[in-house]
Amino acid sequence: MTPAWPNGDRWDVVAATSHRRQLSEDAAEKLQSFLGQGEVGAEAHFRLGVLLAVGLDRPAEALRHFARADDQSDAFIAYLARYYAGRVQEMAGAVEQAEVAYRAALAVQPRTPSASLSLAFLLLSSGRGTEASDVMARSLESPPEVDPFRVHGFADHRFIDALFIALRRELGS
């Protein structure tokens, strides 16, 4: 039975979803224009991968962009690309590939909570409780680094010092 939407609000939801999809398509097109542009190329691949995986339900394309974003010169983006690849693989039921991706993310930034928890849960769900416990124990050995997953949606903290320097220069101080 189809739920009854008050006052025909279902059509508002359908219209909003359709509009959001178009916005996602527009954003994907814009991101594609940055893919080959030096310093921002890896991040554009990563952000396009997220948009494809989450906003447009195109996980196979997303995985290709995550692989292209895995740039060792930027550990922040490399971690995120590997972590999101793991999430996409896990959602697709590709447990072995997800495990490989989570471990690869932890190779870039050990003890990071998002990949540690995701890997531990994956291992625990696969009946590998001892390994899950080991992953969590390693993650708690010392304070974690900044978890890119927790901050990647905010203003990019990696460039804040350069921003302040530029602002001071412009303000003449």
Q: In whole angstroms, what is the distance from residue 77 CA to residue 45 CA?
A: 10
Q: What is the mean pLDDT of the chain?
A: 81
Instruction: Report the C-alpha gap between 122 and 117 in whole angstroms.
Output: 8
| pTM of the predicted protein model | 0.77
Domain assignment present for 72: yes
Q: What angle do CA 72, 139, 91 make, to 5 degrees?
A: 70
Domain total in the chain = 1
In a domain, 2, yes or no: no
> Is 95 domain-assigned?
yes
CA distances 90 to 8, 15, 99, Å, are 37, 30, 8
- Look at residue 3 and tell me if it is in a domain: no
Does 5 map to a domain?
no
Mean pLDDT lowest among 23-32, 60-69, 99-108: 23-32
CATH code of 131's domain: 1.25.40.10
Lowest mean pLDDT among 13-22, 73-82, 100-109, 153-162: 13-22
Within a domain: 103? yes
Domain-embedded: residue 48: yes
> So what's the pLDDT on residue 99?
98
Domain residues for the domain of 161 are 10-171
